[in-house]
């Protein structure tokens, strides 16, 4: 398949692996930021192919995972309200809240619908004026433009029955928190390619300069990921620290200006609570005052709903790359995709789900025995 097979070519991949081995001066720890990258690494078994002295740890870039429990509870409360049609991307439906997940709410009678685009939710609101249609706007900078476009469209058309439960988070503030930690072990970052398609790489240049580490804007295919690793370890070997763009076929240095204009028109930067990481200042998007009437938290009066994260799921440590999913005492025991303790076990991009799905607990057990 064009635009795919060439990034999965075993010969090219072997050649990059050899170059990584040659370039790697000593032990190094790289963090791939995005959950999509984590899944690709585990799906293709890239971690098995890399030299042992190179450690990949998994970052916070799974939007489903970092959505705080109280936001799921707000979603559940709204979905259960009369006349509500609650629209969401599929992989939010299985994320556990305090009293269940959205799939269970659906089984109990709530009108919960999977949509593939926020514009689908706008279309439902247009088509079904008697329903109060709510879209669960979750995601990093990647999904913000489409969500902003949905809000703009609803506002322009005066759709009084449409609102959005916004839970947008931003990558750079979270990275700043991780890199600023005293015991930070990260030697280099593979930055999330699709986020950078929207935002560009300027924020990452600031991070790289401030913390003096290599950051490589990286894609999601095996060859992308390994090329990102090669660029990072080459910088490390040379003692350099800058931003490189491995994903230049898609991501431009300044991002997508039109998309960011739309985002800034609809959203303001705000403080956000992250599941497992706590509140991070200026780390998310919320509606700008002109769009406050679309804010489902206000429309349904749920903004005061506060819930503490349960302390039995160490997902915060997993999301910071401080705990390997297989090192969690609950992994594969109390916590499985059927009975998740936390979001990383159910999200398509969650690190725990990747380790479980691709059988890494078995690999880990065998290594422990060996």
CB of 21 to another protein, least distance (A): 15
Q: Which residues of 102-111 are buried (b: 16+ CB within 10 A; e: fewer)?
A: bbbbbeeebb
- Please report whether residue 52 would count as binding another protein according to CB under 8 A: no
- Per rule CB under 8 A, is residue 64 in the interface with another protein? yes
**Pairwise CA distance, residues 155 & 197, whole Å:** 26
Q: Which stretch binds another protein (CB under 8 A): 106-114, 150-158, 201-209, 239-247?
A: 106-114
Which of residues 32 and 208 has its CB atom nearest to another protein in the complex?
Answer: 32
H/E stretch holding 121: helix 118-127
Q: Does 15 interact with another protein (rule: CB under 8 A)?
A: no
- What is d(CA 283, CA 305) in angstroms, rounded to the nearest whole number? 20
| Residue 81 C-beta: closest distance to another protein, Å | 20
CB 228 within 8 A of CB 19: no
DSSP 138-187: EESTTTHHHHHHHHHHHHHHT-TTEEEEEEEE-HHHHHHHHHTSTT----
Q: Is 94 in the site for another protein (CB under 8 A)?
A: yes
> In this complex, which beta carbon is closest to another protein, that of residue 25 or of residue 362?
362
Among 21, 120, 128, 268, binds another protein (CB under 8 A): 120
Shortest distance, position 369 Cβ to another protein, whole Å: 12
Q: Which of residues 313-342 bind another protein (CB under 8 A)?
A: 314, 317, 322-324, 327-330, 334, 336-339, 341
What does each C-alpha distance from 169 to 183, 244, 293 come to in angstroms?
24, 24, 21
CB of 11 to another protein, least distance (A): 10
Instruction: Please name which of 312, 318, 322, 320 lies closest in space to residue 356, comparing C-alpha atoms.
Output: 318
When binding is defined by CB under 8 A, the residue of 59, 60, 63, 276 that contacts another protein is 63
Residue 73 CB neighbours (<10 A): 18
Which range of residues in 8-16, 72-80, 149-157, 273-281 is near another protein by CB under 8 A?
Answer: 8-16
- For 28, the token pair is 């190094």
Nearest to 80 by CA among 104, 98, 55: 104
Say how far apart CA 339 and CA 347 lie, in whole Å: 13
* Residue 42 Cα distances to 37, 214, 217, 314, 349, angstroms: 9, 23, 19, 21, 11
Question: Could you tell me if 330 and 312 are in contact, meaning their C-beta atoms sit under 8 angstroms apart?
Answer: yes
CB of 242 to another protein, least distance (A): 27
Candidates 149-157, 160-168, 203-211, 350-358; binding stretch for another protein (CB under 8 A): 350-358
CB 114 within 8 A of CB 142: no
**Nearer to another protein (CB atom), residue 8 or residue 131:** 8
116 near another protein, rule: CB under 8 A = yes
Classified as helix, coil or strand, 188 is strand
Is 138 a residue that touches another protein (CB under 8 A)? yes
Which of 24, 197 has the CB closer to another protein? Answer: 197
Span of 132-140, 202-210, 259-267, 271-279 interacting with another protein by CB under 8 A: 132-140
The contact mask relative to another protein for 283-312 (x = CB under 8 A, - = no) is: ----------------------------xx
Sign of torsion, CA 54 60 61 65?
positive
Which residues are at the interface with another protein (CB under 8 A)?
1, 4, 8, 10, 13, 36, 42-46, 48-49, 63-64, 89-94, 96, 99-101, 103-104, 106-108, 114-116, 120, 138-140, 142-143, 194, 222, 311-312, 314, 317, 322-324, 327-330, 334, 336-339, 341, 348-349, 356-360, 362-363
């Amino acid at each position: 398949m064009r635009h795919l097979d060439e990034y999965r070519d075993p010969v090219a991949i072997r050649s990059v692996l050899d170059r990584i081995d040659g370039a790697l001066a000593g032990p190094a720890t790289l963090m791939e930021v995005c959950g999509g990258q984590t899944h690709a690494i585990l799906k293709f078994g890239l971690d098995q192919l890399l030299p042992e002295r190179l450690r990949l740890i998994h970052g916070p870039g799974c939007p489903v995972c970092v959505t705080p429990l109280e936001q799921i509870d707000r979603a559940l409360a709204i979905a259960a309200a009369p006349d509500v049609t609650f629209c969401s991307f599929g992989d939010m439906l299985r994320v556990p809240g305090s009293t269940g997940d959205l799939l269970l709410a659906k089984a109990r009678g709530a009108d919960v619908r999977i949509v593939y685009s926020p514009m689908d939710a706008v279309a439902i609101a247009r088509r079904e004026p008697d329903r109060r249609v709510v879209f669960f706007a979750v995601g990093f900078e990647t999904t913000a433009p489409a969500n902003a476009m949905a809000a703009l469209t609803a506002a322009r058309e005066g759709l009084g029955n449409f609102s959005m439960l916004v839970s947008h988070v931003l990558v750079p503030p979270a990275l700043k928190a991780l890199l600023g930690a005293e015991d930070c072990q990260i030697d280099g970052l593979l930055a999330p390619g699709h986020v950078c398609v929207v935002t560009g790489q300027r924020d990452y240049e600031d991070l790289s300069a401030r913390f003096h580490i290599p950051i490589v804007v990286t894609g999601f295919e095996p060859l992308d990921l390994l090329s990102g690793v090669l660029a990072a370890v080459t910088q490390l070997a040379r003692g350099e620290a800058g931003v490189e763009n491995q994903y230049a076929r898609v991501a431009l240095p300044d991002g997508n200006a039109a998309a960011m204009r739309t985002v800034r028109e609809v959203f303001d930067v705000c403080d956000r609570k992250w599941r497992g990481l706590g509140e991070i200042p200026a780390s998310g998007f919320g509606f700008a005052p002109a769009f406050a009437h679309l804010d489902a938290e206000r429309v349904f009066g749920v903004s005061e709903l506060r819930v503490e994260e349960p302390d039995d799921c160490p997902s915060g440590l997993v999301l910071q790359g401080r705990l390997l999913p297989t090192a969690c005492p609950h992994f594969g025991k109390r916590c499985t995709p059927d009975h998740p303790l936390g979001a990383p076990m159910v999200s398509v991009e969650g690190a725990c789900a990747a380790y479980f799905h691709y059988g890494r607990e078995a690999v880990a057990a065998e290594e422990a025995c060996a």
